[in-house]
């Protein structure tokens, strides 16, 4: 079995070849989830990601499968399992190789949870792959965010900034716990419509259509870029009416974004595994070999070797 990086993560067994998260459209490929740095036309993916692709890319090309369903791709057996990262995200199993893609063992209110699986080869995302990159317990962050929302809404509207797919819908689910209107950017609403078609119950209105809802306090969820200084018209309108603003991301655990964004608060809410989650996951999967990729791949590989006594190395590029 050969595993290396070439226009995506390639798993090769003799003349059989599958590409995971390709950087462009390729035959015999599999996509892990619907973030734009992973999404590609013509691939195998979950049915949920297929529907997200229709909104994000304006086309539906590929094969959608259910979690746990086995499919043959170029002679290799492939199956997808919930990655707990975002709606529709999947870990990809190819024979005895497990590729995590972006994953989070804690899951979230708008996606499932990720469970370790025995494998011989583990390909591990390393976005937060060094010891200083750790998060508070997710339930504590969600509780803090909900409390801050409840207090802040007593004096005016609240604007939350987040990535338009995944985190934005997670914030919608949190805000729906309170008895206030939830307004969202059109792009976020288009994606949330997909969630609801798959059985979620997100309650929201599109900002440009919400006149009555803006007569009192409301929660407004916008893409991150609209909180960058000097702020979008929607943000400025809310702030001029006594509103407050916040941003939610795992990077809030190490960066102060108040200089580049108009923020009153920030919350370290991540949809990725942190360093300690990564070590735990490796230990539970008990692979013979670990390949780290993306983010802090070299540092994480060294830590896995020293702490867990397992063979680990960054994913090589090209043939070897």
Residue 319 above 60 pLDDT?
no
Task: Give every CB contact of residue 14 below 8 A, 6+ residues apart in sequence.
Answer: none
Sheet containing 219-223: order of strands: 205-206, 182-184, 219-223, 158-162, 244-248, 265-267
**In 101-209, which ranges are continuous DSSP H helix?**
138-152, 167-175, 186-197
CA geometry: angle 144, 161, 159, nearest 5 deg: 75
Domain map (residue ranges) of the chain:
2-133+272-314, 138-267
pLDDT at position 265: 97
Query: For the domain bounded by 138-267, which CATH number is listed?
Result: 3.40.50.10890
CATH number, domain 2-133+272-314, options 3.65.10.10, 3.60.20.10, 3.20.20.60, 3.60.15.10: 3.60.15.10
pLDDT at position 262: 96
Residue 195 in tokens: 């969630």
Q: CA–CA separation, 11 vs 120, rounded Å?
A: 13
DSSP characters over 71-89: EEETTEEEEEEE-SSSTT-
Contact (Cβ atoms closer than 8 angstroms) between residue 256 and residue 249: no
Mean pLDDT of the residues in the chain: 96
Q: How far is CA 142 from the centre of its chain?
A: 16
Residue 242 above 90 pLDDT?
yes
pLDDT at position 214: 84
pLDDT band, very low/low/confident/very high, at 174 (cuts 50, 70, 90): very high
- Tens digit of each residue's pLDDT (9 = 90 or more) over 133-149: 999 999 999 999 999 99
- pLDDT higher at 317 or 164: 164
What does DSSP assign to residue 46?
Answer: E
Stretch 218-225: mean pLDDT, rounded?
A: 97
In CATH terms, are 2-133+272-314 and 138-267 the same topology? no
Stretch 66-77: mean pLDDT, rounded?
A: 97
Q: CA–CA separation, 38 vs 17, rounded Å?
A: 19
pLDDT at position 317: 79
Secondary structure (3-state) at 3: strand
Torsion angle, CA of 252/253/258/261, rounded to 10 degrees? -10
Cβ-based burial of 115 (10 A; exposed 0-12, middle 13-18, buried ≥19): middle
What does DSSP assign to residue 316?
Answer: P
pLDDT band, very low/low/confident/very high, at 170 (cuts 50, 70, 90): very high
Residue 82 in tokens: 């919930």
Stretch 9-36: mean pLDDT, rounded?
A: 96
């Amino acid at each position: 079995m050969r595993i290396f990086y070439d226009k995506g993560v390639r798993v090769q067994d003799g003349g059989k070849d599958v590409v995971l998260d390709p950087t462009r459209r390729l035959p015999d490929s599999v996509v892990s989830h619907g973030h734009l740095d992973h999404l590609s036309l013509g691939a195998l993916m979950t049915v949920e990601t297929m529907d997200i692709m229709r909104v994000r890319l304006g086309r539906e090309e590929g094969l959608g499968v259910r979690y746990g369903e086995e499919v043959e791709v170029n002679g290799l057996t492939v199956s997808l399992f919930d990655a707990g990262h975002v709606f529709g995200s999947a870990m990809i199993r190819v024979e005895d190789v497990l590729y995590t893609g972006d994953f989070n063992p804690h899951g979230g209110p708008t996606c499932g949870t990720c469970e370790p699986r025995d494998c011989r080869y583990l390909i591990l995302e390393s976005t937060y792959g060094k010891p200083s990159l750790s998060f508070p317990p997710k339930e504590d962050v969600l509780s803090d965010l909900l409390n801050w929302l409840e207090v802040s809404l007593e004096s005016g509207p609240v604007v939350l900034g987040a990535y338009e797919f995944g985190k934005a819908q997670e914030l919608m689910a949190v805000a729906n716990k309170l008895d206030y209107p939830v307004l969202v950017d059109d792009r976020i609403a288009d994606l949330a419509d997909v969630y609801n078609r798959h059985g979620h119950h997100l309650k929201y209105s599109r900002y440009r259509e919400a006149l009555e809802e803006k007569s009192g306090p409301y929660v407004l969820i916008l893409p991150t870029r609209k909180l960058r200084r000097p702020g979008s018209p929607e943000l400025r309108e809310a702030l001029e009416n006594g509103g407050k603003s916040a941003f939610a991301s795992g990077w809030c655990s190490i960066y102060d974004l108040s200089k580049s964004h108009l923020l009153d608060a920030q919350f370290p809410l991540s949809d990725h595994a942190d360093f300690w989650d990564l070590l735990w996951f490796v230990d539970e999967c008990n692979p013979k070999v670990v390949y780290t990729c993306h983010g802090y791949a070299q540092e994480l590989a060294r830590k896995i070797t020293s702490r867990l006594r397992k063979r680990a190395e960054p994913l090589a590029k090209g043939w070897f």
